[in-house]
């Protein structure tokens, strides 16, 4: 999924260990996801739905996948530095307990708030989150990093859906301008809002001490606002 990473790996001549953090995680096919989770009718899917990448790479947006990633990283560290393996294992167990608590909090909130559909006006990278919590989507884009802009008919359908269902929030990806989401907002009574994909963080977030759990909780608060 990351051609640039392969180029770096192939150029290395050291014995540096290469770790695939997606090991033991079931990848989500983007087309299959939208076939099951999009609230659009199948024959309304735009022609641009053939993605550059077959799978969604944002595996960490399902906290249970994040737990698997922690185990994968911990095992690799223990293998490289066996003498300090208890240190790595203790830290891993501590962090996994926090991830389990986060997952339970998100699941409970989504169930109690009866959150079943979210609308996205930006590039889409949230399949793992939506699948984990059983949330349907209406999205302008059908993947992250699409070269083609969404069709006029899809934008119109989103606007019509928002107006018909009194949708309060239209989400877009962090570290982006959110141009399409803001355009949709101008044609509706909805508010554009960031839904963090956590594939990167800003300098401001680093300085504020933000981490995976705190940013995921921001997403949860945004989802709750969408139901107010």
User: Mean pLDDT across the chain, nearest whole number?
Assistant: 90
Domain definitions of the chain by residue range: 29-56+115-226
Kindly report whether the global pTM for this prediction surpasses the value 0.85. Answer: yes
Q: Which CATH superfamily is domain 29-56+115-226 in?
A: Nitrogenase molybdenum iron protein domain (3.40.50.1980)
From the list 215, 129, 204, 139, the residue with the least C-alpha distance to 172 is 139
pLDDT at position 210: 95
Residue 146: pLDDT over 60:
no
Residue 45: pLDDT over 50:
no
Residue 32: helix, strand or coil by DSSP?
helix
Residue range 64-83: mean pLDDT, rounded = 98
Range name among 35-44, 45-54, 116-125 with the lowest pLDDT average: 45-54
Residue 142: pLDDT over 90:
no
pLDDT band at residue 3 using 50, 70 and 90 as cut-offs: confident
The pLDDT tens digits for 123-141 are 999 999 999 999 999 999 8
Residues listed for the chain? 228
Residue 32 CB: number of other CB atoms within 10 A? 12
pLDDT at position 148: 66
């Amino acid at each position: 999924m990351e051609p640039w990473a392969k180029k770096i790996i192939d150029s290395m001549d050291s014995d540096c260990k290469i770790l695939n953090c997606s090991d033991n995680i079931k990848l989500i096919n983007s087309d299959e996801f939208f076939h099951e989770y999009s609230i659009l009718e199948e024959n309304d899917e735009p022609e641009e739905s053939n993605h550059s990448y077959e799978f969604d790479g944002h595996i960490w947006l399902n906290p249970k996948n994040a737990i698997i990633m922690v185990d994968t990283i911990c095992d690799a560290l223990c293998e490289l530095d066996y003498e300090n393996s208890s240190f790595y294992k203790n830290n891993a167990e501590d962090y996994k307990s926090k991830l389990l608590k986060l997952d339970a909090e998100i699941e409970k909130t989504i169930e109690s708030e009866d959150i079943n559909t979210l609308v996205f006006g930006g590039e889409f990278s949230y399949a793992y989150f939506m699948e984990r919590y059983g949330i349907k989507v209406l999205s302008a884009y059908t993947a992250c990093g699409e070269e083609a802009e969404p069709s006029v008919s899809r934008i119109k359908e989103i606007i019509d859906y928002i107006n018909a269902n009194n949708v309060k929030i239209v989400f877009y990806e962090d570290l982006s301008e959110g141009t399409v989401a803001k355009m949709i907002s101008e044609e509706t009574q909805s508010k554009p809002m960031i839904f963090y994909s956590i594939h990167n963080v800003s300098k401001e977030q680093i300085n504020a001490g933000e981490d995976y759990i705190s940013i995921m909780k921001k997403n949860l608060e945004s989802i709750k606002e969408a139901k107010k």
